[in-house]
A and B are shown apart, each in its own frame.
Chain A
Amino acid sequence: MGVKDTTAVPVINKKASINRQTIAPKIASGHGLDVDDHKVTVGQSFSQNAKMTMRNVNVFYGDKQAIYDVNIDIAKNEVMAMIGPSGCGKSTFLRTLNRMNDTVEGCRVEGDILMDGENLYAPKLDVVELRARVGMVFQKPNPFPKSIYDNVAYGPKIHGLADTRVDLDEIVESSLRKASLWEEVKERLHQPGTGLSGGQQQRLCIARAIAVSPEIILMDEPCSALDPIATAKIEELIEELSQNFTIAIVTHSMQQAARVSHRTAYFHLGKLIEVNPTEQVFTMPEHPLTEAYITGRFG
């Protein structure tokens, strides 16, 4: 038999795993965070290559303040996702970008909102022209009760973008192609747009928005009424569109924000908490509130 090593042997901890259970921290309930403490947006809110510049933006509905002192840039050809719990102000914020709030009774916008350095809230600014430069896609597909062709042709017509019928045909075709809808509807351009499926209708609305060659496209939960396949098609489209347009998208689906956006902005109770590259926000967010929200811990 072998020879015993008579010197001391290492201490054996038979209950090693059980001991560790007891030292493992049990964290107290609640995230222990107070949005009132929030003063400055963390992360990378600004860009060298800003298309949209927002400084000290406050929005009020009557006496109630909906947005508090937001500072952010949206870069050219960027997809910026806005996320946050319901009522956090992300949709309100999106709508300030093409003055959709003008029509809301008692809504007041303070601060500077600039597109290429031009103030969007300047008194002289033509809002109709602004809406052509800043297109919008809504939650529910809302095609006009007209033919597919007329849905897309309407904008270019009223903005005088096409001189001839041939020009208009060309715009309609290229817009539908960019919206990945052309192959599906080219045989039935003169049938009603409302006869399309939900996903097709939403892509028709996107075609309608891009037909007037906007610089920015705002999307307010564009996929929340769509099934996963239609959603995937829109997301694919967003990626393609970002080559030509700047896109700001509000979404309730964090996975969607993670999939399509370059930067993600997190809003909470009207405050802009964090802006960072999307890959960072979803793997190692800087602010504890962002962390609590994207990991599903808000109650």
Chain B
Amino acid sequence: MTKMSFENHIMKQFDEELEEIRTRLMEMGGKVEQQLQNAVLAIGQADSKLAEEVIVEERHVDAMEVDIDEACILIIARRQPAASDLRLVMMVTKAVNDLERIGDEAKKIANHAILLAEGGGSIKGYPEIRHIGTSVIKMLANALDAFARFDAEAAIRTIEEDKQIDLDYKTALREVVTYMMEDPRSISRAINILWVVRSLERIGDHAKNLCEQIVFVVKGKDIRHQ
């Protein structure tokens, strides 16, 4: 089955419950996406206030994770979903976990944004952050779009983007190490940069997980670790 439908249950309430977790997952995805964008922006613009917002927002994301998980448990207990319904519910419980982790990483980036803004100094490392940041933001957006459309092909294409991000991450590491060697006084600043690119790389991995889960919902195939 490639065409996904979470409607037309004899129990109309069940349709609504599935639609509800799907909508809430998309809301959570949108929120996390916003956090990531703001965190990356906060570094580029040395905007501590924006970074603070990202940090505060993280708590809302955590609360959403708990809420959606609870709704999934209720659906399993009440409806004993099967087949595509079951796959959707299982996917959502895993996806909220990945989204929450993305939120965590965005928060870490925001923390480093504050440190970098306070520290001042050169913009060395920013182009790397911006480059990886743009790729990761795009990848997450593509993953969330693929989920909204239940588009397994788009999800598989998006998984491929992670490879480039991993390569860019390695390149960035080398660059930052070079900055450290050139100017040992910049080491603590460079370490902050390192943590940021590391977080961005991790977000790419979580977006990849999300895509794998989309393929699982649509095709019923587990493509993890392949």
Q: Is the CB of B148 within 8 A of A20?
A: yes
Interchain CB contact under 8 A, A294 and B122: no
Knowing A4-B45, A10-B134, A24-B148, say if A29 contacts B80 (CB, 8 Å).
Answer: no
Q: Interface readout for A211-240 with B: 1 if CB under 8 Å, 0 if not?
A: 000000000000000000000000000000
Within the assembled complex, what's the spacing in Å between the Cα atoms of A268 and B1?
Answer: 18
Q: Is the CB of B45 within 8 A of A3?
A: no
Residue from A5, A14, A283, A288 within 8 A of B87 (CB atoms): A283
- The CA of A62 and the CA of B6, in the complex, are separated in Å by 40
Contact B44 A4 (CB under 8 A): yes
CB of B184 closer than 8 Å to a CB of A: no
The distance from the CB of A84 to the nearest CB of chain B, in whole angstroms, is 14
CB distance from B34 to the nearest CB of A (A): 7
The answer for the CA separation of A290 and B4 in the assembled complex, in Å, is 14
Interface size class of A (residues with CB under 8 A): 35 or more
- Total contacting residues, chain B, CB less than 8 A: 59
- The answer to the question of A296 belonging to the interface, with a C-beta cut-off of 8 Å to chain B, is yes
A291 pairs with B134, CB closer than 8 A:
no
Chain A proximity of B115: nearest CB distance (Å): 10
CB within 8 Å of B: which A158-210 residues: none
Q: Is A9 an interface residue (CB 8 A)?
A: yes
Residue in B6, B41, B118, B220 whose CB lies within 8 Å of A9: B41
Stretch in contact with the other chain, from B22-30, B158-166, B206-214: B22-30
**Docked complex Cα distance between A213 and B77 (Å):** 40
Please give the distance in Å from A1's CB to the nearest CB on chain B.
Answer: 6
Docked-complex contact B82 and A294, CB < 8 angstroms: yes
Q: Is A23 at the interface (CB under 8 A from chain B)?
A: yes
Interface centre among A3, A20, A282 (most CB of B within 10 A): A20
Stretch from B66-74, B101-109, B137-145, B168-176 that touches the partner: B137-145
A240 to chain B, nearest CB (A): 25
CA of A291 to CA of B5, assembled, Å: 11
**For residue B33, which residues in chain A have a CB less than 8 angstroms away from its CB?**
13, 16-17
Assess whether A1 is in contact with B82, with CB atoms less than 8 Å apart.
no
Checking A3, A255, A295 against B120 with a beta-carbon cut-off of 8 angstroms, the contacting residue is: A3
* Interface of chain B, main secondary structure: helix
Residues of A within 8 A of B9 (CB): 295-297
> Could you tell me if B121 and A25 are in contact, using CB atoms closer than 8 angstroms?
no
How distant is B57 from chain A, measured CB to nearest CB, in Å? 13
**B14 beta carbon closer than 8 Å to chain A:** yes
B86 part of interface (Cβ distance < 8 Å): yes
Contacts A9-B40, A9-B130, A295-B83; A4 near B46 (Cβ below 8 A): yes
CB <8 Å contact, B149 and A24? yes
Partner of A2, one of B6, B29, B118, B145: B118
Residue of B nearest to A17 (CB): B30
**Which residues on the B side are within 8 Å of A17 (C-beta)?**
26-27, 29-31, 33
* B76 → chain A closest CB, angstroms: 12
Q: Is A114 an interface residue (CB 8 A)?
A: no
Residues of A within 8 A of B (CB): 1-5, 7, 9-10, 12-18, 20-21, 23-27, 29-31, 254-255, 258, 282-285, 288, 290-291, 294-299
17 sampled A-B residue pairs with Cβ under 8 A = A1-B46, A2-B116, A2-B117, A2-B119, A5-B123, A10-B130, A13-B37, A20-B26, A25-B150, A29-B8, A255-B80, A283-B82, A283-B87, A283-B220, A296-B9, A297-B5, A299-B10
11 further interface pairs, Cβ-Cβ under 8 Å (given A3-B121, A282-B82): A10-B37, A10-B130, A10-B133, A16-B30, A17-B29, A20-B147, A21-B23, A283-B220, A291-B83, A295-B81, A295-B84
